[in-house]
Structure 1
Amino acid sequence: MKIGERLQAIADMVPVGVTMADIGTDHAYLPIYLISHNVVARAIAGDIHQGPYLSAKNAVVAAQLEEFISVRRGNGLEVVRPGEAETVVIAGMGGLNIIDILRSRPEVTATLKRLIVQPMIAAAAVRMWLQTNGWQIISEQLIQEDGKLYQIIAAEPGESQPFEPILYEIGPLLWHSRHPLLLLHIEELIVHLRGVLAAMAGSAEAVHSAKYREFADKLKDLEDKRTCL
Protein backbone atom coordinates (compact mmCIF):
# COMPACT_ATOMS: atom_id res chain seq x y z
CA MET A 1 0.00 0.00 0.00
CA LYS A 2 1.37 3.40 -1.02
CA ILE A 3 0.58 6.49 1.02
CA GLY A 4 1.31 10.16 0.37
CA GLU A 5 4.29 12.09 1.70
CA ARG A 6 2.27 13.67 4.51
CA LEU A 7 1.04 10.34 5.88
CA GLN A 8 4.48 8.81 5.32
CA ALA A 9 6.08 11.53 7.45
CA ILE A 10 3.52 10.85 10.19
CA ALA A 11 4.12 7.10 9.91
CA ASP A 12 7.87 7.68 10.30
CA MET A 13 7.23 9.28 13.70
CA VAL A 14 5.28 6.30 15.07
CA PRO A 15 7.43 4.10 17.35
CA VAL A 16 7.86 0.45 16.39
CA GLY A 17 5.85 -2.18 18.24
CA VAL A 18 3.28 0.04 19.95
CA THR A 19 -0.49 0.12 19.86
CA MET A 20 -1.52 3.33 18.13
CA ALA A 21 -4.79 5.16 17.69
CA ASP A 22 -5.57 7.26 14.63
CA ILE A 23 -8.20 9.85 15.52
CA GLY A 24 -10.14 11.14 12.51
CA THR A 25 -8.89 8.15 10.54
CA ASP A 26 -11.04 8.68 7.43
CA HIS A 27 -10.19 5.63 5.26
CA ALA A 28 -7.82 4.11 7.85
CA TYR A 29 -4.92 4.46 5.41
CA LEU A 30 -2.41 5.15 8.18
CA PRO A 31 -3.32 2.20 10.46
CA ILE A 32 -3.45 -0.15 7.48
CA TYR A 33 -0.01 1.01 6.33
CA LEU A 34 1.51 0.70 9.81
CA ILE A 35 0.13 -2.80 10.38
CA SER A 36 0.98 -3.98 6.86
CA HIS A 37 4.58 -2.84 7.29
CA ASN A 38 4.93 -4.37 10.76
CA VAL A 39 5.51 -0.99 12.40
CA VAL A 40 2.84 -1.32 15.10
CA ALA A 41 1.38 -4.32 16.89
CA ARG A 42 -2.23 -3.15 16.92
CA ALA A 43 -4.17 -0.08 15.87
CA ILE A 44 -7.41 1.72 16.63
CA ALA A 45 -9.02 3.66 13.79
CA GLY A 46 -11.54 6.18 15.10
CA ASP A 47 -13.86 8.63 13.37
CA ILE A 48 -16.93 10.52 14.53
CA HIS A 49 -18.66 10.56 11.14
CA GLN A 50 -20.61 7.62 9.75
CA GLY A 51 -19.22 7.88 6.20
CA PRO A 52 -15.51 7.80 7.10
CA TYR A 53 -16.20 5.17 9.77
CA LEU A 54 -17.78 2.86 7.19
CA SER A 55 -15.01 3.61 4.67
CA ALA A 56 -12.41 2.69 7.28
CA LYS A 57 -14.25 -0.49 8.23
CA ASN A 58 -14.52 -1.57 4.59
CA ALA A 59 -10.84 -0.79 3.94
CA VAL A 60 -9.72 -2.84 6.94
CA VAL A 61 -11.89 -5.78 5.86
CA ALA A 62 -10.54 -5.54 2.30
CA ALA A 63 -6.99 -5.62 3.69
CA GLN A 64 -7.92 -8.61 5.89
CA LEU A 65 -6.60 -6.84 8.97
CA GLU A 66 -9.67 -6.98 11.25
CA GLU A 67 -7.64 -8.96 13.79
CA PHE A 68 -5.16 -6.11 14.18
CA ILE A 69 -7.17 -2.92 13.54
CA SER A 70 -10.24 -2.03 15.58
CA VAL A 71 -12.43 0.48 13.74
CA ARG A 72 -14.58 2.53 16.11
CA ARG A 73 -17.07 5.34 15.73
CA GLY A 74 -16.89 8.07 18.33
CA ASN A 75 -15.86 11.61 19.17
CA GLY A 76 -12.11 12.11 19.49
CA LEU A 77 -10.46 10.10 22.24
CA GLU A 78 -13.78 8.61 23.35
CA VAL A 79 -12.84 5.62 21.17
CA VAL A 80 -9.73 4.91 23.28
CA ARG A 81 -9.69 3.49 26.80
CA PRO A 82 -7.05 4.77 29.26
CA GLY A 83 -3.82 2.84 28.74
CA GLU A 84 -5.08 1.12 25.60
CA ALA A 85 -2.76 2.96 23.20
CA GLU A 86 0.76 4.30 23.68
CA THR A 87 0.71 6.56 20.63
CA VAL A 88 -2.08 8.74 19.28
CA VAL A 89 -2.16 10.48 15.90
CA ILE A 90 -4.50 13.41 15.28
CA ALA A 91 -3.94 14.74 11.78
CA GLY A 92 -5.75 16.96 9.32
CA MET A 93 -7.77 18.97 11.85
CA GLY A 94 -7.64 22.54 13.07
CA GLY A 95 -5.30 23.19 15.95
CA LEU A 96 -8.05 24.31 18.34
CA ASN A 97 -10.01 21.16 17.54
CA ILE A 98 -6.93 19.06 18.33
CA ILE A 99 -6.56 20.84 21.67
CA ASP A 100 -10.24 20.26 22.49
CA ILE A 101 -9.83 16.54 21.75
CA LEU A 102 -6.81 16.28 24.06
CA ARG A 103 -8.50 18.28 26.82
CA SER A 104 -11.73 16.31 26.66
CA ARG A 105 -10.22 13.00 27.81
CA PRO A 106 -7.40 13.79 30.26
CA GLU A 107 -7.56 10.25 31.64
CA VAL A 108 -6.53 8.98 28.18
CA THR A 109 -4.06 11.74 27.35
CA ALA A 110 -2.25 11.15 30.65
CA THR A 111 -1.46 7.53 29.68
CA LEU A 112 0.04 8.31 26.26
CA LYS A 113 3.75 7.92 25.56
CA ARG A 114 3.75 9.82 22.26
CA LEU A 115 1.45 12.27 20.55
CA ILE A 116 1.70 13.06 16.84
CA VAL A 117 -0.36 15.97 15.53
CA GLN A 118 -0.72 17.64 12.16
CA PRO A 119 -2.77 20.81 12.59
CA MET A 120 -4.14 22.44 9.44
CA ILE A 121 -4.28 25.82 11.20
CA ALA A 122 -3.37 27.24 14.63
CA ALA A 123 -0.18 25.20 15.00
CA ALA A 124 1.14 27.87 17.38
CA ALA A 125 -1.77 27.24 19.75
CA VAL A 126 -1.03 23.51 19.68
CA ARG A 127 2.64 24.08 20.51
CA MET A 128 1.67 26.41 23.34
CA TRP A 129 -0.78 23.84 24.74
CA LEU A 130 1.80 21.06 24.56
CA GLN A 131 4.51 23.13 26.22
CA THR A 132 2.24 24.26 29.06
CA ASN A 133 0.63 20.87 29.68
CA GLY A 134 3.61 18.63 30.34
CA TRP A 135 4.58 17.69 26.78
CA GLN A 136 7.98 18.10 25.19
CA ILE A 137 8.23 18.51 21.43
CA ILE A 138 10.74 15.91 20.22
CA SER A 139 10.39 16.18 16.45
CA GLU A 140 8.92 18.50 13.84
CA GLN A 141 8.59 18.05 10.11
CA LEU A 142 7.48 20.12 7.14
CA ILE A 143 6.02 18.31 4.14
CA GLN A 144 5.00 19.86 0.85
CA GLU A 145 2.30 17.84 -0.90
CA ASP A 146 0.01 18.89 -3.75
CA GLY A 147 1.13 22.50 -3.41
CA LYS A 148 0.39 22.70 0.32
CA LEU A 149 2.78 22.86 3.25
CA TYR A 150 1.99 20.73 6.29
CA GLN A 151 3.46 20.94 9.80
CA ILE A 152 3.80 17.69 11.76
CA ILE A 153 4.67 17.72 15.46
CA ALA A 154 5.62 14.79 17.69
CA ALA A 155 5.69 15.18 21.47
CA GLU A 156 6.33 13.01 24.51
CA PRO A 157 5.61 13.59 28.21
CA GLY A 158 8.22 15.88 29.73
CA GLU A 159 8.89 19.40 30.86
CA SER A 160 10.37 22.02 28.55
CA GLN A 161 11.30 25.65 28.87
CA PRO A 162 9.12 28.25 27.10
CA PHE A 163 10.22 29.02 23.56
CA GLU A 164 11.03 32.38 22.07
CA PRO A 165 7.47 33.64 21.35
CA ILE A 166 7.74 33.67 17.56
CA LEU A 167 8.95 30.06 17.56
CA TYR A 168 5.48 28.90 18.59
CA GLU A 169 4.47 30.08 15.11
CA ILE A 170 7.52 28.78 13.25
CA GLY A 171 8.26 25.63 15.23
CA PRO A 172 11.31 25.55 17.54
CA LEU A 173 12.85 22.40 16.06
CA LEU A 174 12.11 23.49 12.49
CA TRP A 175 13.97 26.71 13.24
CA HIS A 176 16.95 25.23 15.05
CA SER A 177 17.41 22.48 12.44
CA ARG A 178 17.08 24.99 9.58
CA HIS A 179 14.65 22.68 7.83
CA PRO A 180 15.00 22.79 4.01
CA LEU A 181 11.44 24.15 3.70
CA LEU A 182 11.86 26.66 6.54
CA LEU A 183 12.12 29.75 4.33
CA LEU A 184 8.98 28.79 2.41
CA HIS A 185 7.22 28.11 5.71
CA ILE A 186 8.12 31.52 7.14
CA GLU A 187 7.14 33.27 3.92
CA GLU A 188 3.73 31.58 4.02
CA LEU A 189 3.26 32.78 7.61
CA ILE A 190 4.24 36.31 6.55
CA VAL A 191 1.81 36.33 3.62
CA HIS A 192 -0.99 35.11 5.89
CA LEU A 193 -0.35 37.77 8.53
CA ARG A 194 -0.10 40.53 5.93
CA GLY A 195 -3.50 39.44 4.64
CA VAL A 196 -4.98 39.52 8.14
CA LEU A 197 -3.59 42.99 8.81
CA ALA A 198 -4.80 44.26 5.43
CA ALA A 199 -8.30 43.01 6.21
CA MET A 200 -8.24 44.74 9.59
CA ALA A 201 -6.91 47.99 8.11
CA GLY A 202 -10.37 48.92 6.85
CA SER A 203 -11.58 49.49 10.40
CA ALA A 204 -10.13 52.23 12.59
CA GLU A 205 -11.31 50.34 15.65
CA ALA A 206 -9.50 47.19 14.50
CA VAL A 207 -6.30 49.08 13.70
CA HIS A 208 -6.18 50.47 17.23
CA SER A 209 -6.94 47.13 18.86
CA ALA A 210 -4.55 44.98 20.89
CA LYS A 211 -5.06 42.15 18.39
CA TYR A 212 -3.83 44.32 15.52
CA ARG A 213 -0.70 45.24 17.48
CA GLU A 214 -0.15 41.57 18.33
CA PHE A 215 -0.36 40.57 14.65
CA ALA A 216 1.89 43.47 13.61
CA ASP A 217 4.51 42.44 16.18
CA LYS A 218 4.38 38.83 14.96
CA LEU A 219 4.84 40.00 11.39
CA LYS A 220 7.93 42.01 12.34
CA ASP A 221 9.37 39.03 14.24
CA LEU A 222 8.79 36.74 11.26
CA GLU A 223 10.43 39.20 8.89
CA ASP A 224 13.39 39.46 11.28
CA LYS A 225 13.72 35.66 11.34
CA ARG A 226 13.59 35.55 7.55
CA THR A 227 16.60 37.87 7.33
CA CYS A 228 18.58 35.36 9.44
CA LEU A 229 18.24 32.62 6.81
Structure 2
Amino acid sequence: MKIGERLQAIADMVPVGVTMADIGTDHAYLPIYLISHSIIARAIAGDIHQGPYLSAKNAVAAAQLEELISVRRGNGLEVVRPGEAETVVIAGMGGLNIIDILRSRPEVTATLKRLIVQPMIAASTVRMWLQTNGWQILNEQLVQEDGKLYQIIAAEPGESQPLEPILYEIGPLLWQSRHPLLLLHIEELIVHLRGVLAAMAGSAEAVHSAKYREFADKLKDLEDKRTCL
Protein backbone atom coordinates (compact mmCIF):
# COMPACT_ATOMS: atom_id res chain seq x y z
CA MET A 1 0.00 0.00 0.00
CA LYS A 2 1.34 3.41 -1.01
CA ILE A 3 0.60 6.56 0.95
CA GLY A 4 1.35 10.17 0.08
CA GLU A 5 4.27 12.21 1.40
CA ARG A 6 2.14 13.88 4.08
CA LEU A 7 0.95 10.59 5.57
CA GLN A 8 4.43 9.11 5.19
CA ALA A 9 5.92 11.96 7.23
CA ILE A 10 3.29 11.35 9.92
CA ALA A 11 3.95 7.60 9.84
CA ASP A 12 7.66 8.22 10.31
CA MET A 13 6.90 9.96 13.63
CA VAL A 14 4.88 7.04 15.06
CA PRO A 15 6.91 4.96 17.55
CA VAL A 16 7.36 1.27 16.85
CA GLY A 17 5.18 -1.23 18.70
CA VAL A 18 2.55 1.13 20.10
CA THR A 19 -1.21 1.20 19.92
CA MET A 20 -2.11 4.27 17.89
CA ALA A 21 -5.40 6.12 17.58
CA ASP A 22 -6.00 8.00 14.33
CA ILE A 23 -8.63 10.66 14.94
CA GLY A 24 -10.42 11.76 11.78
CA THR A 25 -9.11 8.66 10.02
CA ASP A 26 -11.12 9.06 6.80
CA HIS A 27 -10.22 5.89 4.80
CA ALA A 28 -7.95 4.51 7.56
CA TYR A 29 -4.97 4.67 5.20
CA LEU A 30 -2.53 5.53 7.99
CA PRO A 31 -3.51 2.69 10.39
CA ILE A 32 -3.58 0.18 7.53
CA TYR A 33 -0.12 1.25 6.39
CA LEU A 34 1.36 1.12 9.89
CA ILE A 35 -0.13 -2.28 10.71
CA SER A 36 0.75 -3.75 7.29
CA HIS A 37 4.38 -2.72 7.76
CA SER A 38 4.50 -4.10 11.34
CA ILE A 39 5.30 -0.65 12.73
CA ILE A 40 2.54 -0.61 15.35
CA ALA A 41 0.84 -3.36 17.34
CA ARG A 42 -2.77 -2.22 17.13
CA ALA A 43 -4.77 0.78 15.94
CA ILE A 44 -7.99 2.62 16.60
CA ALA A 45 -9.43 4.41 13.57
CA GLY A 46 -11.99 7.01 14.59
CA ASP A 47 -14.20 9.37 12.60
CA ILE A 48 -17.29 11.34 13.52
CA HIS A 49 -18.86 11.22 10.07
CA GLN A 50 -20.79 8.24 8.75
CA GLY A 51 -19.25 8.28 5.26
CA PRO A 52 -15.58 8.21 6.32
CA TYR A 53 -16.41 5.73 9.10
CA LEU A 54 -17.91 3.31 6.57
CA SER A 55 -15.03 3.90 4.16
CA ALA A 56 -12.58 3.06 6.94
CA LYS A 57 -14.49 -0.09 7.88
CA ASN A 58 -14.53 -1.25 4.26
CA ALA A 59 -10.82 -0.51 3.78
CA VAL A 60 -9.85 -2.36 6.96
CA ALA A 61 -12.02 -5.33 5.97
CA ALA A 62 -10.50 -5.38 2.47
CA ALA A 63 -7.04 -5.48 4.06
CA GLN A 64 -8.20 -8.28 6.40
CA LEU A 65 -7.04 -6.32 9.44
CA GLU A 66 -10.25 -6.22 11.51
CA GLU A 67 -8.56 -7.98 14.43
CA LEU A 68 -5.81 -5.34 14.65
CA ILE A 69 -7.63 -2.14 13.65
CA SER A 70 -10.76 -1.16 15.55
CA VAL A 71 -12.86 1.26 13.47
CA ARG A 72 -15.09 3.43 15.65
CA ARG A 73 -17.54 6.22 15.00
CA GLY A 74 -17.45 9.10 17.43
CA ASN A 75 -16.39 12.65 18.14
CA GLY A 76 -12.66 13.12 18.63
CA LEU A 77 -11.16 11.25 21.56
CA GLU A 78 -14.56 9.89 22.60
CA VAL A 79 -13.58 6.76 20.66
CA VAL A 80 -10.56 6.13 22.91
CA ARG A 81 -10.59 4.89 26.50
CA PRO A 82 -8.00 6.30 28.94
CA GLY A 83 -4.75 4.35 28.61
CA GLU A 84 -5.96 2.46 25.54
CA ALA A 85 -3.53 4.14 23.12
CA GLU A 86 -0.02 5.47 23.68
CA THR A 87 0.06 7.59 20.52
CA VAL A 88 -2.64 9.75 18.97
CA VAL A 89 -2.59 11.27 15.49
CA ILE A 90 -4.87 14.20 14.66
CA ALA A 91 -4.22 15.34 11.10
CA GLY A 92 -5.95 17.44 8.48
CA MET A 93 -7.98 19.63 10.85
CA GLY A 94 -7.81 23.25 11.92
CA GLY A 95 -5.59 24.06 14.87
CA LEU A 96 -8.45 25.19 17.09
CA ASN A 97 -10.34 21.99 16.35
CA ILE A 98 -7.28 19.94 17.33
CA ILE A 99 -7.02 21.82 20.61
CA ASP A 100 -10.74 21.34 21.31
CA ILE A 101 -10.35 17.58 20.75
CA LEU A 102 -7.45 17.39 23.21
CA ARG A 103 -9.26 19.53 25.79
CA SER A 104 -12.52 17.62 25.52
CA ARG A 105 -11.16 14.38 27.00
CA PRO A 106 -8.43 15.35 29.49
CA GLU A 107 -8.60 11.88 31.05
CA VAL A 108 -7.47 10.44 27.69
CA THR A 109 -5.00 13.18 26.76
CA ALA A 110 -3.25 12.81 30.12
CA THR A 111 -2.44 9.15 29.40
CA LEU A 112 -0.83 9.75 25.99
CA LYS A 113 2.91 9.29 25.49
CA ARG A 114 3.09 10.90 22.05
CA LEU A 115 0.91 13.29 20.13
CA ILE A 116 1.28 13.86 16.38
CA VAL A 117 -0.70 16.72 14.87
CA GLN A 118 -0.95 18.22 11.41
CA PRO A 119 -2.97 21.42 11.63
CA MET A 120 -4.26 22.88 8.37
CA ILE A 121 -4.35 26.36 9.90
CA ALA A 122 -3.41 27.99 13.24
CA ALA A 123 -0.31 25.87 13.81
CA SER A 124 1.10 28.66 15.99
CA THR A 125 -1.90 28.35 18.33
CA VAL A 126 -1.33 24.60 18.58
CA ARG A 127 2.34 25.14 19.48
CA MET A 128 1.37 27.66 22.17
CA TRP A 129 -1.19 25.25 23.59
CA LEU A 130 1.33 22.41 23.70
CA GLN A 131 3.95 24.58 25.40
CA THR A 132 1.55 25.82 28.08
CA ASN A 133 -0.08 22.43 28.74
CA GLY A 134 2.88 20.24 29.58
CA TRP A 135 3.94 19.08 26.10
CA GLN A 136 7.41 19.31 24.60
CA ILE A 137 7.82 19.52 20.82
CA LEU A 138 10.31 16.83 19.79
CA ASN A 139 9.97 16.79 16.02
CA GLU A 140 8.65 19.04 13.28
CA GLN A 141 8.49 18.44 9.56
CA LEU A 142 7.41 20.30 6.45
CA VAL A 143 6.01 18.34 3.53
CA GLN A 144 4.97 19.65 0.14
CA GLU A 145 2.27 17.59 -1.55
CA ASP A 146 0.13 18.55 -4.55
CA GLY A 147 1.43 22.12 -4.34
CA LYS A 148 0.48 22.58 -0.68
CA LEU A 149 2.80 22.86 2.29
CA TYR A 150 1.95 20.94 5.46
CA GLN A 151 3.36 21.32 8.99
CA ILE A 152 3.59 18.18 11.13
CA ILE A 153 4.37 18.37 14.84
CA ALA A 154 5.21 15.55 17.26
CA ALA A 155 5.19 16.19 21.01
CA GLU A 156 5.60 14.21 24.21
CA PRO A 157 4.82 15.08 27.84
CA GLY A 158 7.48 17.35 29.30
CA GLU A 159 8.27 20.88 30.28
CA SER A 160 9.54 23.37 27.70
CA GLN A 161 10.68 26.96 27.88
CA PRO A 162 8.66 29.73 26.22
CA LEU A 163 9.76 30.43 22.68
CA GLU A 164 10.72 33.59 20.88
CA PRO A 165 7.20 34.68 19.82
CA ILE A 166 7.77 34.43 16.06
CA LEU A 167 8.95 30.82 16.42
CA TYR A 168 5.43 29.78 17.36
CA GLU A 169 4.57 30.78 13.79
CA ILE A 170 7.63 29.30 12.10
CA GLY A 171 8.21 26.24 14.25
CA PRO A 172 11.20 26.13 16.63
CA LEU A 173 12.67 22.88 15.30
CA LEU A 174 12.03 23.82 11.68
CA TRP A 175 14.01 26.99 12.33
CA GLN A 176 16.73 25.23 14.32
CA SER A 177 17.28 22.57 11.65
CA ARG A 178 16.99 25.03 8.75
CA HIS A 179 14.58 22.65 7.10
CA PRO A 180 14.97 22.52 3.29
CA LEU A 181 11.45 23.94 2.87
CA LEU A 182 11.89 26.61 5.56
CA LEU A 183 12.27 29.53 3.17
CA LEU A 184 9.12 28.56 1.28
CA HIS A 185 7.31 28.16 4.61
CA ILE A 186 8.32 31.62 5.83
CA GLU A 187 7.44 33.19 2.49
CA GLU A 188 3.97 31.63 2.64
CA LEU A 189 3.50 33.07 6.14
CA ILE A 190 4.63 36.49 4.89
CA VAL A 191 2.25 36.41 1.91
CA HIS A 192 -0.64 35.44 4.18
CA LEU A 193 0.06 38.25 6.66
CA ARG A 194 0.45 40.81 3.89
CA GLY A 195 -2.97 39.77 2.62
CA VAL A 196 -4.51 40.15 6.07
CA LEU A 197 -2.97 43.60 6.53
CA ALA A 198 -4.07 44.70 3.06
CA ALA A 199 -7.64 43.65 3.85
CA MET A 200 -7.54 45.57 7.14
CA ALA A 201 -6.08 48.66 5.45
CA GLY A 202 -9.51 49.51 4.04
CA SER A 203 -10.77 50.41 7.50
CA ALA A 204 -9.29 53.29 9.52
CA GLU A 205 -10.58 51.66 12.69
CA ALA A 206 -8.84 48.39 11.82
CA VAL A 207 -5.57 50.14 10.96
CA HIS A 208 -5.47 51.75 14.38
CA SER A 209 -6.35 48.57 16.24
CA ALA A 210 -4.05 46.49 18.45
CA LYS A 211 -4.63 43.51 16.13
CA TYR A 212 -3.26 45.44 13.14
CA ARG A 213 -0.15 46.40 15.10
CA GLU A 214 0.27 42.77 16.20
CA PHE A 215 0.08 41.54 12.61
CA ALA A 216 2.44 44.27 11.39
CA ASP A 217 5.00 43.38 14.07
CA LYS A 218 4.70 39.70 13.20
CA LEU A 219 5.26 40.48 9.52
CA LYS A 220 8.43 42.42 10.34
CA ASP A 221 9.72 39.55 12.50
CA LEU A 222 9.10 37.09 9.68
CA GLU A 223 10.89 39.30 7.18
CA ASP A 224 13.81 39.63 9.59
CA LYS A 225 14.01 35.85 9.93
CA ARG A 226 13.96 35.48 6.17
CA THR A 227 17.02 37.67 5.84
CA CYS A 228 18.89 35.29 8.19
CA LEU A 229 18.51 32.34 5.82
SS in 2 for 1:115: strand
Distance between the aligned counterparts of 1:25 and 1:205, measured in 2?
A: 43
Q: Residue 97 of structure 2 aligns with which residue?
A: 97
1:64-88, CA deviations, whole angstroms, 9 ceiling, x for partnerless residues?
0000000000000000000000000
Deviation, 1:217, is: 0.4
SS in 1 for 2:34: helix
Distance between the aligned counterparts of 1:68 and 1:210, measured in 2?
A: 52
Distance between the aligned counterparts of 1:215 and 1:71, measured in 2?
A: 42
Distance between the aligned counterparts of 1:187 and 1:47, measured in 2?
A: 34
SS in 2 for 1:78: helix
Deviation, 1:131, is: 0.2
TM-score (norm 1): 1.00
Deviation, 1:134, is: 0.1
Deviation, 1:228, is: 0.2
Deviation, 1:14, is: 0.1
Q: Which runs of 5+ in 1 are unaligned?
A: none
1:153 and 2:171 equivalent? no
SS in 2 for 1:3: coil
Q: Residue 219 of structure 2 aligns with which residue?
A: 219
1:121 and 2:121 equivalent? yes
Following TM superposition, the consecutive aligned residue runs of length 4 or more in structure 1 with deviations greater than 4 angstroms are none
Q: Residue 132 of structure 1 aligns with which residue?
A: 132
Distance between the aligned counterparts of 1:183 and 1:57, measured in 2?
A: 40
Deviation, 1:204, is: 0.5
1:19-61, CA deviations, whole angstroms, 9 ceiling, x for partnerless residues?
0000000000000000000000000000000000000000000
Distance between the aligned counterparts of 2:108 and 2:179, measured in 1?
A: 32
Deviation, 1:110, is: 0.2
SS in 2 for 1:10: helix
TM-score (norm 2): 1.00
Deviation, 1:170, is: 0.1
Aligned length: 229
Deviation, 1:164, is: 0.3
Deviation, 1:138, is: 0.1
Distance between the aligned counterparts of 1:101 and 1:206, measured in 2?
A: 32
Distance between the aligned counterparts of 2:6 and 2:107, measured in 1?
A: 29
SS in 2 for 1:112: coil
Give the share of equivalent positions with the same residue, in percent.
Answer: 95
SS in 2 for 1:117: strand
Deviation, 1:112, is: 0.1
Q: Residue 59 of structure 1 aligns with which residue?
A: 59
Across the aligned residues of Structure 1 and Structure 2, the Cα RMSD in angstroms comes to: 0.2
Deviation, 1:101, is: 0.3
Distance between the aligned counterparts of 1:115 and 1:39, measured in 2?
A: 16
SS in 1 for 2:15: coil
Distance between the aligned counterparts of 1:30 and 1:52, measured in 2?
A: 13
Distance between the aligned counterparts of 1:106 and 1:214, measured in 2?
A: 32
SS in 1 for 2:126: helix
Q: Residue 179 of structure 1 aligns with which residue?
A: 179
Deviation, 1:183, is: 0.3
Distance between the aligned counterparts of 1:109 and 1:127, measured in 2?
A: 16
Distance between the aligned counterparts of 2:59 and 2:214, measured in 1?
A: 46
Deviation, 1:153, is: 0.1
